[in-house]
Structure 1
């Protein structure tokens, strides 16, 4: 690397991963610290648009998240699908990671290119503990936001994906279980969550 400093940010042919992203993916904090110390780019993304912080959040590595943020990583940098680092705990769980990212300034109101909110992503992926945590930061109108991809909101997405634990969390929050999809919904028009669950 001393003779060829450009190698510090060299990308693999297929994945586009840099050495720093590879170290993050493996969960090796010493290697992460080393690559940062020799000037690796904190924000250089791979072919999917995932930055080192995005990967650390998805892989659930709190110590590496802290290291990257302390060196200037953007907690709201979206990948090519419009998913921010908070996507990780909404997809794979670990509320502690969500709590950590939010404490660093992550935007809980982010939506991706499908129109999914982080609340919706928790419901689609059955992450009821992360959902419970995120509900403290949003209002009912946001919880009932319908994604453009299917016209479903959080409770409807839970019903479609058979996410009973998430349904219970939303019910305790006060979500109306009798609300309906729009009359022009292409999947199931004017359907309650119960209709969707049976569909």
Structure 2
């Protein structure tokens, strides 16, 4: 059973009080006997043990979207970019849980939207790949690196195209992300949208947006096939029509083959 807000607050206060009693936070006093520490964040002098306790608590609070607890922990000096299991930060934990308000709170406190975990995912990259548009927009507002790539050499745009997340694709294109980036498989977002898609309405919207943004229609995959070649092979008639109308070349036209008359 999850803790009630009152219990969570009590737990947080108990942890913080214990750290202070042990001198773990290292908060300086004014130097006058009996004086109390000034009401300033102790982050700068937080020792490793205290950072670990508060950091892990912050990651958990973020993952369950407990914004109030996130705020209390940050005020207590929890390192906003503390890395827990798999080098995952609280912001990444919040993003993976689509905990929008916790993610917002962390970003407003300076969380690094480009910090990557051991899988080379950042909050920005994961939000794009998973179609989490609200968090994606927040990361863009807080300095997301549009050129960043994950473990597969994908930008945030490529998996969004692969999954047919039209709204996500539109957001990224509007922010001038590179539509012709080639991933480790040798594929662009257009090639991924066709080869991994089913030609349904969301994929048609994605392909249309990529065409409008001047995606390279003649770029070939490692087998020498263009997006149009794949669309024809997969019998995605509506996508074929979009690509043909845009003047997309096929393998035959890009290899210089000709048709002779009788």
TM-score bracket, shorter-length normalisation: 0.7 to 0.9
**Larger RCO: 1 or 2 (CA < 8 Å, sep 6+):** 1
Alignment of 1:153 with 2:188, yes or no, is yes
Show structure 1 runs of 4+ deviating over 6 A. Answer: none
| Structure 1 position 113, deviation (Å) | 3.0
Q: Structure 2 matches for 1:7-156, cutoff 5 A? A: 9-10=52-53, 18-138=56-176, 142-148=178-184, 150-156=185-191
What TM-score, normalized by structure 1, do the two folds share? 0.80
CA spacing shift, 1:166–1:87, aligned 2, 3 Å: farther
C-alpha RMSD over aligned residues: 2.5
Which runs of 5 or more structure 2 residues have no equivalent in the other structure?
1-14, 25-48, 235-262
2:85 aligned counterpart, secondary structure? coil
Which runs of 5 or more structure 1 residues have no equivalent in the other structure?
12-16
CA spacing shift, 1:49–1:163, aligned 2, 3 Å: farther
| Structure 1 position 131, deviation (Å) | 0.8
| Structure 1 position 138, deviation (Å) | 2.0
Do the aligned residues in 2 keep the contact of 1:171 with 1:177 (CA within 8 Å)?
no
| Structure 1 position 85, deviation (Å) | 1.0
Do the aligned residues in 2 keep the contact of 1:131 with 1:166 (CA within 8 Å)?
no
Do the aligned residues in 1 keep the contact of 2:131 with 2:165 (CA within 8 Å)?
yes
Question: Aligned partners of 1:169, 1:159: CA distance in 2, in Å?
Answer: 10
Question: Aligned partners of 2:108, 2:206: CA distance in 1, in Å?
Answer: 34
Paired residue for 1:3?
A: 18
| Structure 1 position 177, deviation (Å) | 4.7
Provide, for residues 109-129 of structure 1, a one-character-per-residue CA deviation record: whole Å limited to 9, x for no partner. Answer: 211232111111212333221
- Name which of structure 1's ranges 106-115 and 150-159 shifts more when overlaid on structure 2: 106-115
| Structure 1 position 155, deviation (Å) | 1.1
Provide, for residues 71-104 of structure 1, a one-character-per-residue CA deviation record: whole Å limited to 9, x for no partner. Answer: 2211211222322211232122232221111111
Alignment of 1:191 with 2:228, yes or no, is no
Q: How many residues align?
A: 185
Question: Aligned partners of 2:168, 2:180: CA distance in 1, in Å?
Answer: 17
Alignment of 1:169 with 2:184, yes or no, is no
Do the aligned residues in 2 keep the contact of 1:29 with 1:63 (CA within 8 Å)?
yes
Question: Aligned partners of 1:145, 1:138: CA distance in 2, in Å?
Answer: 12
Question: Aligned partners of 1:57, 1:125: CA distance in 2, in Å?
Answer: 18
Do the aligned residues in 2 keep the contact of 1:75 with 1:106 (CA within 8 Å)?
yes
Do the aligned residues in 1 keep the contact of 2:62 with 2:93 (CA within 8 Å)?
yes
Question: Aligned partners of 1:32, 1:138: CA distance in 2, in Å?
Answer: 33
